[in-house]
Structure 1
């Protein structure tokens, strides 16, 4: 290697060093020398990301659409655990590969074919950014004594700044939010229990399979929607980090935080009714009192939303870079380019928030169920390929080469993905579309179960038919080392 090349590598290592505050990596591999942290960081990040107002609203939707308290809580637990387990399996990929989540999809869909799920993922990030900004904007406006529009815009700008700084600050915000929001939720929980007759709420239990499955879908979709970016926040962990530890800390933080918030939402919706539905943020804050207490709670709500909206913005930026680089071939990004991508996410999400703030509850429920249709097939394909076919080993240089091992377009994976999406339509139930099999099932929505099972089975069958899902001989194994990849021809026992 010539001196210029060595100087460039040295400069890159310096810029991306663990001691730096502003992140320099984007879709490139994080070298071993720059890895840092412990698996426990995943617990604090995902706990803080889920102790927030939108998760409360998600839990409340179970009651809004007809569920009782007892079976809504049971359904939410089941969905959080099942969806959270799938999400945590994606998280465990981060330390092993040192790559963002969606770039791994190139191993299944091709370097350019991955743009298909990426496009839908970007829509997800923008949608979550918008829905979160509606509620966070209300809190910010009341904290600063301005209007909702000003609050939404101010919150969006703050989100973009934190996302631009990057990984290290994101985890700091998560740690702070996990402590501050947990304390606030304990306080609010005590205040809520002083106002409601818990015995009466728990005594009114009437099981309905359609409602139970809808409730499961709400919480499962909440968790599954983290799948396309969860490894983005574990990829800096040392390669020696236990995959099991990463899995359990991620699952426990995300499931505990979301169930805590959603339980609060169920109890609030069941006891407050229209008072909560008319003003979600205002009612939650009113439980804590007025004056200084109210100001602190508005701050807590904004902080909780800041954590998750930063994740959405950062994930959107990474996904946009991944999609475009598949065609342009670039791995690195300048600070100016990084800011430009983040600005696109911020401006688009803010515009959606301002346009859709009047019909938030119904729109958000349909948005959650809509997400399931497109992300469960992707999740099934990615996990089957990574854990069962590739056995946690990818040819990382080939992920950036459309003429390499994985090719530009993987037609078989794209067909399986399409079949997985279409297979869900007969079982899908939203306000704008209900599949023909929804009524025979009593109105139950089981589309997400079909969306996991069908593509996982088809994709695995393709591998067993004699051709691996990444289009190469199934006996060839690739291992990641220090930001590069060494190929070895050790046969893998299938």
Structure 2
């Protein structure tokens, strides 16, 4: 993979690993960029090797009604397709040096960007809570195997311990995360593959052969389910890491590294879940999925499996925690990046303690809510993609200037075409959304009974609608001055008046 030379790249990383990064959302200058696209491959591989992918694959068989061959195909299309979107959006970070939601200021305006930033932050913090809580359950099980008496107090201690580890890694920043993700992938990724091998041995192959194929609409629903539960949740994060790459790295390599790095482990792990669900339909709905999966392993393999589960989940959580901290800064919270990570860690700890100690059957409603966030996230992504196709440049200094009359102030801090398109796309997407927990319908839009709604494609409706609306509104308003400041007139001269 191209980029800085091996010695230069290695030296740059060595100087930063283990040092707390103080850089926040300000764009990375060219002389501080290093590495190549291969680093993104290891990062995304490590973030997607967690055992929660097994429950995603199991859900395709248990809830969607697919057979195993269909589930494998659906897992491939859903994960690769959704991370293709992540990869394309990542290239904007490489070109500008800025995080994804900071770049979004140029699209939505300084104040108009608050909405997408809040949604993205909620999604990151929510998934971090789920991942850290699940890792805490696995750590409790490890300690129980060592003779430690399980109980609410031990669970609370494990939640705090897992969050502290993830936050500690996120606190150091980009170079340390990239270095650790590579080694986590090699060590615990390999252990996860060993676990997958043992799980495959337990598969009821007779039950697999007897599964009837699902109808075409179930296949479509499965693709939507996998996409919403995997890549869509990361669409705003890709640029946060690609911004450290030299501008000489080809965009195609960034996209390929992202798609393959995330897609390969997801396909393998989700396919394993589909195979297991053929003989154990309860796997997809287990309150503690880590324990349910471990029950299929031989006793001597249980502790290594749990350790792999803990570190696989932490690998995704620290990545998410870094990006959620950047979201806080983009939203206008005037703290340093390490402080933003501490704020997120505190919220995740409180949420994890509520899930593990207080709430009963909280996973279902909570993950359903997080899945619904795919609607506003894809609406944002569609609008940003249209803007990327027309925008010639981003002014790094202007991205940080939030004063009235600044380059991206537009009208009162809002770019009307983008914000109207985003809100309209969300409204239409939610009309097709249908979310349920077990047999209980949690949310159903007025058009959720249509073909698009039944096939879980509300997120796709939102993305396409956002892109089309913004393209039309931009074409209609291009050339009209949205404000009277010199910066606004200069922006119109570049064709950015929507």
Is the contact made by 1:70 and 1:205 (CA closer than 8 Å) also made in structure 2?
no
Greater mean deviation of Cα atoms: 126-135 or 431-440? 431-440
Which residue number corresponds to residue 165 of structure 1? Answer: 172
Instruction: Note if contact 2:160-2:349 (Cα within 8 Å) is conserved in structure 1.
Output: no
Q: Deviations over 1:370-420 (max 9, x none)?
A: 02111110111111112x1204x2122222223212112222211110000
Match of 1:91 in 2: 90
Question: Corresponding residue for 1:7?
Answer: none
Alignment partner of 1:310 is 2:318: yes
Residue 394 (structure 1) aligns with? 394
Match of 2:193 in 1: 186
Measured in 1, the distance between the counterparts of 2:396 and 2:129 equals 34
CA RMSD of aligned residues (A): 3.1
> Aligned partners of 2:374 and 2:227: how far apart in 1?
8
Contact 1:87 1:230 in 2 (8 A): yes
Runs (4+) of structure 1 exceeding 4 A deviation are 16-20, 468-473, 489-492
Change in CA separation of 1:406 and 1:63 when aligned onto 2, cut-off 3 Å: same
Secondary structure at the aligned position of 1:433 is classed as strand
SS at 2:443's partner residue? coil
How far apart are residue 56 of structure 1 and its match? 2.0
Counterpart for residue 421 of structure 1: 426
- Listed as ranges, the gaps of 5+ residues in structure 2 are 1-11, 145-149, 437-441
Distance 1:276 1:409 in 2: 43
Q: Output the CA distance in 2 between the equivalents of 1:469 and 1:372.
A: 33
- Correspondence for 2:292: 283
**SS of equivalent to 2:434:** coil
Equivalent residue in structure 1 for 2:263, among 252, 255, 280: 255
In the alignment, the residues of structure 2 paired with residue 281 and residue 241 of structure 1 have an alpha-carbon distance, to the nearest angstrom, of 39
Deviation per CA, 1:421-477: give whole Å up to 9, x if none: 01112211112122233324383222122111111011112232251799699xx9x
| CA shift digits 1:10-31 (9 cap, x unpaired) | xxxx9x9647622121101111
CA–CA distance in 2 between the matches of 1:170 and 1:150? 24
2:111 counterpart residue number: 112
Measure the CA separation in 2 of the matches of 1:196 and 1:167: 40
Separation of aligned partners in 1, 2:293 and 2:135:
13
- Residues 100 and 240 of structure 2 are in contact (CA less than 8 Å); yes or no, is this contact kept in structure 1? yes
**2: CA distance, partners of 1:491 / 1:368:** 36
2:276 is matched with which residue: 246, 262, 268? 268
The equivalences for 1:364-383 within 5 A come to 365-383=367-385
**3-state SS, counterpart of residue 465 of structure 1:** helix
Deviation at 1:275, TM superposition (A): 5.9
Query: Residues of 2 paired with 1:346 and 1:437: CA distance?
Result: 34
Q: Deviations over 1:339-398 (max 9, x none)?
A: 543444434443454368642552355134302111110111111112x1204x212222
* Alpha-carbon contact 1:77-1:259 (below 8 Å) kept: yes
Q: 1:471 to 1:299 in 2, by over 3 A?
A: farther
Deviation sequence 1:162-183 (CA, Å, 0-9, x none): 1111111211221122222332
TM-score normalised by L of structure 2: 0.84
- 2:147 counterpart residue number: none
Q: Distance in 1 between matches of 2:495 and 2:101?
A: 27
Q: CA deviation at 1:220?
A: 0.9
The residue aligned with 1:132 is: 131
Q: Hey, what does 1:479 align to over in structure 2?
A: none
> Is 1:346 paired with 2:348?
yes
Partner of residue 102, structure 1: 101
Cα–Cα, structure 1 residues 277 and 427, in superposed 2: closer, same or farther, change >3 Å? closer
Counterpart contact for 2:207–2:278, Cα < 8 Å? no
After superposition, the Cα gap between the structure-2 partners of 1:254 and 1:471, relative to the gap in structure 1 and judged at 3 Å, is: farther
* Distance in 2 (alpha carbons) for counterparts of 1:445 and 1:276: 18
Q: Size of the alignment, in residue pairs? A: 459
Name the SS for the 2:24 alignment partner.
coil
- Tell me, what secondary structure is at the counterpart of 2:195? helix
Partner residue in 2 for 1:36: 34
Check whether the contact 1:428–1:445 (CA below 8 A) recurs between aligned residues: yes
Of 191-200 and 409-418, more deviation after overlay is shown by 191-200
Give the superposition deviation at 1:43: 0.6
Whole-Å separation in 1 of the counterparts to 2:480 and 2:400: 17
TM-score by length of 1: 0.85
Alpha carbons of 1:356 and 1:74: their partners in 2 closer, same or farther (altered >3 Å)?
farther
Taking the aligned partners of 1:239 and 1:226, their CA distance within structure 2 comes to 22
Q: CA deviation at 1:74?
A: 2.2
Going from structure 1 to structure 2, the CA distance change for 1:468 and 1:444 (only over 3 Å counts) comes to farther
Shift of 1:241: 1.4
2: CA distance, partners of 1:216 / 1:356: 34
